[in-house]
Amino acid sequence: MNVEYSFESNYVRTRNGWLHGVTDDYGNHVYRGIPFAAPPVGERRFKDPAPALNWQGVREADHYGPEAVQMYGAFDAEKNTFVDDPDGRTAEYSGEDCLYLNIWSPAKSEAEKLPVFVWIHGGAFMGGSGSGFLYRGGSLAQRGIVVVTINYRMSVLGFLSHPSFARHGNFAIMDQTMALRWVKDNIEVFGGDPDQITVGGQSAGACSVGCLINSPYTEGLFSRAVMESGTMYGCMLGATKEKAQMDALGEEFVSACLGGVVTKLYTMDALELTKLGNAFVMGKGEGLLWRPCIDGDVIEKPMDQLFREQTRGIDILTGCTEYEFLSDYSPEALKEGISEEEFTRLADALRSDTDTYDALKKAMPYTTKEESLYQYSRLKAAAILSDMKDMASVNAEKGNKTFVYQFRKYTADPKGLYKSPHSAELPYLFGVVGRGGAFPWIESPWTAADFAMMHEVQTLWSDFVKGNPMKTADGREWKPCGGADEDVMILG
CATH architecture label of 1-312: 3-Layer(aba) Sandwich (3.40)
Render the burial of 393-427: b for 16+ CB within 10 Å, e for the rest: ebbbeeebbbbbbbbebbbbbeeebbbbbbbbbbb
CA atoms within 13 A on the CB side of 9: 10
| Residue pLDDT, tens place only, 446-472 | 889 989 999 999 999 999 999 999 999
Total residues belonging to the chain: 492
pLDDT tens across the length of the chain (492 residues)? 454 789 999 999 999 999 999 999 999 999 999 999 999 999 999 999 999 999 999 999 999 999 999 876 544 444 444 444 444 444 456 799 999 999 999 999 999 999 999 999 999 999 999 998 889 999 999 999 999 999 999 999 999 999 999 888 999 999 999 999 999 999 999 999 999 999 999 999 999 999 999 999 999 999 999 999 998 887 666 557 888 999 999 999 999 999 999 999 999 999 999 999 998 988 877 667 899 999 999 999 998 899 999 888 999 999 999 999 888 888 889 989 999 999 988 888 776 445 666 778 788 888 899 999 999 999 989 889 988 998 999 999 999 999 999 999 987 666 678 888 888 999 999 998 776 654 555 667 788 998 999 999 999 999 999 999 999 999 999 999 986 667 899 998
CB of 138 closer than 8 Å to CB of 39: no
pLDDT at residue number 249: 94
Domain boundaries, the chain: 1-312
Per-residue pLDDT of 418-441, as tens digits, reads 888 888 999 999 998 776 654 555
Contact 375, 346 (CB under 8 A): no
How do residues 248-267 score in pLDDT, each as one tens digit? 999 999 999 999 999 999 99
Specify the amino acid at residue 138.
G
